[in-house]
Amino acid sequence: MTDHAELARIRFVTTHFEYLQGLAALPVLAWIALAMAWASDWIGGWLVLAAIPPLAAAAVAAIVHYRRAYGQVRPPRTGTRDAVFLWPVLATVVAAAAVDIAGLTWPVSVEGIVLSGAALAGAVLVRPLTPALLLVGVPWLVVSLIPLGGSAGPHPLSTTEVWILAFCAGSAVLQVWGHLLLRRTLRPRPARRASGT
């Protein structure tokens, strides 16, 4: 059971335990996506408000499920862990602001390219999440580079609401992968005999 790859997975799952509880984050992402859809005038505002109670209940139920099924872990006392997840968002916000301030309209989406770059860099650096990050990063990059708004632009993915929606969709894929990784590492197994006790 404890080969090198298994120990590496144990380390990763223990260090990032709370981030891998994907079912708890999905309702939050769903609500942000609804809010962005409302901001784009695709749905009515009442739907965003009406979704709060069931989504909040789903998030709480997921947290309780994880606690009962997998136990609890207090994260390591380091501040650098959270920053890893903030950098892509921060970089995209800065890129979006820079493009907006400069008044540039390009046929490609700078925001999408920054997000996909972060996802692809993550795929190289964070091996346990590589499949999910590739699944997110490659389509983002392809869509960002296709001039969907015509040769003069602007690219639809450069609209704030749309790139936030794309970010939510990508994060949802990552959360589901995290959940599956957690399940795989902490799956119920037939009770092992104690050796060396």
Partner 1 sequence: MTGPFEELAGLDKLIHEPARLAITTALNSCAEADFLFLQRLTGLSKGNLSAHLSKLEAAGIVAIDKRFRGKRPETWIRLTGEGARALAAHWERLGALRERANTWSPDGPPRE
The binding site for partner 1 (CB under 8 A) comprises 1-2, 6-7, 10-15, 17, 69-77, 185-197
| Angle between the N-to-C axes of helices 160-185 and 4-15, in degrees from 0 to 180, rounded to the nearest 10 | 130
Decide whether 2 or 151 has the Cβ nearer to partner 1: 2
Please work out, in degrees rounded to the nearest 5, the angle formed at the alpha carbon of residue 121 by the alpha carbons of 115 and 182.
95
CB of 7 to partner 1, least distance (A): 5
Decide whether 6 or 82 has the Cβ nearer to partner 1: 6
Residue 167 makes CB contacts below 8 A (sequence gap 6+) with 89, 92, 115
Decide whether 14 or 105 has the Cβ nearer to partner 1: 14
Distance CA 136, CA 164 (A): 14
**What b/e sequence results for 95-111 when a residue is b if at least 16 CB atoms lie within 10 Å of its CB, and e otherwise?**
bbeebeeeeeeebbbbb
**Count of residues in the chain:** 197
Decide whether 52 or 84 has the Cβ nearer to partner 1: 84
CB of 18 to partner 1, least distance (A): 10
CB of 166 to partner 1, least distance (A): 32
CB of 47 to partner 1, least distance (A): 37
Decide whether 31 or 66 has the Cβ nearer to partner 1: 66
Decide whether 64 or 97 has the Cβ nearer to partner 1: 64
CB of 69 to partner 1, least distance (A): 8
Distance CA 62, CA 30 (A): 14
Distance CA 28, CA 20 (A): 14
CB of 130 to partner 1, least distance (A): 19
Distance CA 17, CA 182 (A): 8
Please work out, in degrees rounded to the nearest 5, the angle formed at the alpha carbon of residue 124 by the alpha carbons of 145 and 90.
60
